[in-house]
Amino acid sequence: MLSYEGEPWAQLEREGIRKTWGSTVGSFPLVEVLYYYGGKDTLYREQDKLYAPFPEGFVNIGRKTLTALEYINSHYDYDFVFRINSSSYVDIFNYLRYISRYSSTQQLYCGLKCVPPPGDPRPVFASGCGYTLSNKTVNTVLEHKEKWDHSMIDDLALAKLLKSLDVEVTTAPRVDYGPQTNFTEDLAQGHFHVRCKCETNRQEDILRMNIVHKVYSRISKSAPLLNVLIRTSNRPYCFRRALSSVQSQGVLNLRIIVSVDNEASYNYVKAFPEVDTIVRCVHTPKESAGHAPYNLYTNRLLDEVKEGWVVFLDDDNVFTGQGVLGSVFFQHITDDSCIYLGKCLLKDRIVPSADHFGKQVVNGDIDTACMILPAAIAKKYQWPDRTGGDYTYLSRAIEGEGGMGAVRWVEEIIGYMPEGPRGGVKGDIPNEKKRCLVCGQESVYLNMLHRTQAICPTCGAFERHRVLAYFLKHLKNPTVHRILHIAPEAPVRKVLQGVYPQADYLTSSYPHKGGSSYCLDISKDIPLPAESFDVIVCSHVLEHVPDYHKAIKGLVRLLTPLGELYLMFPVRRGKTFEDATITSASARKEHYGQEDHLRFFGLDSMPELFNDYSYTALNPFMDVPAEEVPHINPTICDHLFVVRKKDKTWQKKKESQ
């Protein structure tokens, strides 16, 4: 996605996007937003900003757009480019659903079709506020870029070039949110592009985006609910690996339902707040060859499903790569009366094999992770207590739904069984060394209570420390001079002092501990001057303080105009849960996970929590490269929230420079 930006409002609108629809990009690992500008001497990239060697201004939009397309073409393996302006709101879920009907190999040029009046020599064009080009169309444009008429505004020049090559405009929907519009859920349903531009006040664009974002946030649960059903027993390491792969799938509306059949398995499953429902089954021993009583657990899991879609995943399976399941949903799944079957890699072979893929389902040539079924279909049928239960169950479903005509085949490998079939508990040995992002040493991580592979034995870093270490190193800002570390933990101290060796490093502990610079109760007025620090780190503190809203407000007051507050706290899906009547240590542990916690923060509550600030939510499963995630070994608790002062403060600072 290319978001065109231009001064003097570039920073204001970029931060507006990041705070609203841009904050949801992390849920879609197949999507990236790139802001592009001119005004530089050479072409260069800085994080999510691309600078072109052309003067800023309306007259050079075409040159900057061509440069951005060339950059995308040479640096990305992409399917589509969506070029929008900076006062547009994009609902990415609806956009991906829309674009899934097209192929990257066809000529696609679509957007709000504008037809000039009779006698007007201008071509029919897609409004420059937002148009999509397929990979093939981008390459067509670049092959004939010498035909680009730079005397015309860019959207007209693009249309003129493509018309000369017989590429026509396809209409794509857009909603204009103007002064007389009351933006409602009816307008939002199904639409992916909302133009929020105000001709006289660009700050109004951001206000409109906020309104639109709140509407889309209310209806985000209309995204298909995906129920992931997992059976686990005596395989804690495999289970954690499977759970991590689920978290990295880029699915908006997710419910994880897990069955256990003994107390030990229950204990390691309940250690992870990302599990929505635990189904406790009675262990039944095998009576004879071919007897598989654990298949009946799957029927218990299906009983918990109410709506949406169903995916089966045993604890020795994982999903392949970040976002593969999200990709399947956006690109292939359109009909809730069909059964979808993909492929699974079983260590050294792919099932279904080429002999049967697209034709039939054969016993021994299918796997649970291949199946994606609508809940209404999945719940009609039962698993048998015999081996080959996946084949029997799927065969019953196919026959009951009318035969192979009810099956849609997906040409993707969805699941992977690392140890191969029948790996059993032998594949649950934690013998893999990992490189700690805090100390850099390779070792086998140690367990912490029922949390597997949590602690680095060399430096003592937990998962949250390694997540924070990754982001601190990659968000390094050379202008940082003063740092405040709240409740300093040794691993984070080590990373901060390594990233910013020249900065003044100050700490606060409450109650006071030896060596701390301050003793600050952050839920009360903080007795330090405003705009004192460039970076403030506050990790796993807010769940302990009585007034966390006041704590955030007080810490943001201490930030310099371009300063950043790094917040981490235990967080799970859903709304923040806090009950003043829960006061005993045992009750707090039951509801919040720890005896001295006062709440459990919910991801759905973050927009309201940070409503008065600019913020970026960083998800370790989405915003960390896939090859680094196993070394961090994060849980869903380990999100990082980077909080900044309100946009107008950034703009004021920008104008004074």
What confidence tens digit (pLDDT) does each residue in 521-557 have?
999 999 999 999 999 999 999 999 999 999 999 999 9
Domain limits, CATH 3.90.550.10, in the chain = 224-428
Domain limits, CATH 3.40.50.150, in the chain = 434-656
Q: How confident is the model at residue 200, as a pLDDT?
A: 65
Q: How confident is the model at residue 561, as a pLDDT?
A: 92
Tell me if the bond preceding 121 is cis, omega within 30° of 0: no
Among 100-109, 291-300, 315-324, name the most confident range.
Answer: 291-300
Please report which confidence band the pLDDT of residue 569 belongs to, taking 50, 70 and 90 as the band edges.
very high
Q: How confident is the model at residue 535, as a pLDDT?
A: 97
Q: How confident is the model at residue 657, as a pLDDT?
A: 45
Residues β-bridged to residue 225:
253
What mean pLDDT is predicted for residues 307-336? 86
Orientation angle between helical segments 324-331 and 92-99, nearest 10 degrees: 60
Closest-CA residue to 168 (of 124, 120, 127, 105): 124
Q: Which helix (H) or strand (E) holds 130?
A: strand 125-134
Q: How confident is the model at residue 311, as a pLDDT?
A: 96
Q: How confident is the model at residue 222, as a pLDDT?
A: 55
Domain limits, CATH 3.90.550.50, in the chain = 2-221
Q: Over the chain, what is the mean pLDDT?
A: 89
Q: How confident is the model at residue 427, as a pLDDT?
A: 77
What mean pLDDT is predicted for residues 20-38? 82
What mean pLDDT is predicted for residues 608-625? 86
Comparing 46-60, 276-290, 300-314, the range with the smallest average pLDDT is 46-60
* Rounded Cα gap, residues 305 and 380, in angstroms: 11
pLDDT at 655 over 50: no
Q: 309-314 and 277-280 as β-strands: parallel, antiparallel, unpaired?
A: unpaired
Rounded to two decimals, the pTM is 0.72
Burial 514-549 (b: 16+ CB within 10 A, else e): eebeeebbbbeebebeeebbbbbbbbbbbbbbeebe
* Cβ atoms of 588 and 594 closer than 8 Å: yes
DSSP collapsed to 3 states, 503-534: CEEEEECCCCCCCCCECCCCCCCCCCCCCCEE
CATH number belonging to the domain at 224-428, selected among 3.90.550.10, 3.20.20.80, 3.60.15.10, 3.20.20.140: 3.90.550.10
Q: 309-314 and 371-374 as β-strands: parallel, antiparallel, unpaired?
A: antiparallel
Portion of the chain with pLDDT greater than 90, in percent: 62
Please report which confidence band the pLDDT of residue 179 belongs to, taking 50, 70 and 90 as the band edges.
confident
Q: How confident is the model at residue 647, as a pLDDT?
A: 58
Q: How confident is the model at residue 243, as a pLDDT?
A: 94
- Fold observed for domain 2-221: Spore Coat Polysaccharide Biosynthesis Protein SpsA; Chain A (3.90.550)
CATH number belonging to the domain at 434-656, selected among 3.30.70.60, 2.40.160.20, 3.40.190.10, 3.40.50.150: 3.40.50.150
What confidence tens digit (pLDDT) does each residue in 209-238 have?
888 988 887 776 556 789 999 999 999 999
